[in-house]
Amino acid sequence: MGKTASIEVRKLAEGDLSWVLPMDEGSFLLAWKKETFLEELSGRLAHYYGLFEGSTPFAYGGFWLVAGEAQIMRLAVDPGRRGEKKGLFLVASLIEKARELGAKEVTLEVREHNLPARKTYEHLGFLSCGKRPHYYADSGEDAVFMRLLLTNM
C-alpha cells in the first residue's frame, strides 16, 4: 500500500490569497475580490482555513461564528482535485473547527441544483430546512438552507 501525504488544516492568512484568489475564480461565477477576502480574514466573527497536502494547498473554507451558530460562508476545492472526496474532508474540518470554537450548530446555503454538494452535506448529517427563493444573484437559482446540530454529536 502506498504512502499518502497527511493533510494539514491551518488558519488562512493574507499571504494565502496568492492561491485562494485563483481557486475562488475557478470555483465561482461571482468570485470574491481581494478586498473581500481581506475583510473576511480580519473580521472578528470570521474563521477561514486552508487545507494542505504536504506544502500544496487544495481547498479553503470559512464560517462566521455568531451566538453559537457557525454559518459557512465560502468553500472551494481545487478544480483539479474534485471527485477525490476533498470537499467532504473540507466540510468535516470546518465542522470540527466550529465545534472547537463552541458552535452548537452549523448552517449553510447551497444551490438547489448542486447535487454533489448537497449529497456531501447530507452525508455529514446536514438536514434541509427550507429554500431561499432566487438567492443567487448570478442565476436567480434558489438556495437550499441546511443545518447540522452539533449538540447530539
State the pLDDT confidence band at 1, using cuts at 50, 70 and 90: very low
Residues 6+ apart with CB under 8 A from 40: 32, 46, 48, 62, 73, 74
pLDDT in tens, 57-106: 999 999 999 999 999 999 999 988 888 888 899 999 999 999 999 999 99
> Coil, strand or helix: which one is 18?
helix
Strand 143-149 and strand 127-132: pairing? antiparallel
Average pLDDT over residues 100-116: 94
Phi, psi of 49, rounded to the nearest 5 degrees:
-135, 150
Please give the pLDDT value at position 5: 61
Given a contact cutoff of 8 angstroms between Cβ atoms, the answer to whether 51 and 16 are in contact is no
pLDDT in tens, 43-57: 999 999 999 998 899
Q: CA–CA separation, 116 vs 47, rounded Å?
A: 24
Please give the pLDDT value at position 152: 55
Please give the pLDDT value at position 82: 81
Q: CA–CA separation, 141 vs 112, rounded Å?
A: 7
Q: What is the pTM of this model?
A: 0.89
Query: Could you give the percent of the chain with pLDDT greater than 70?
Result: 95
Core vs surface per residue 66-77: b (16+ CB within 10 A) or e: eeebbbbbbbbb
Query: Could you give the percent of the chain with pLDDT greater than 90?
Result: 76
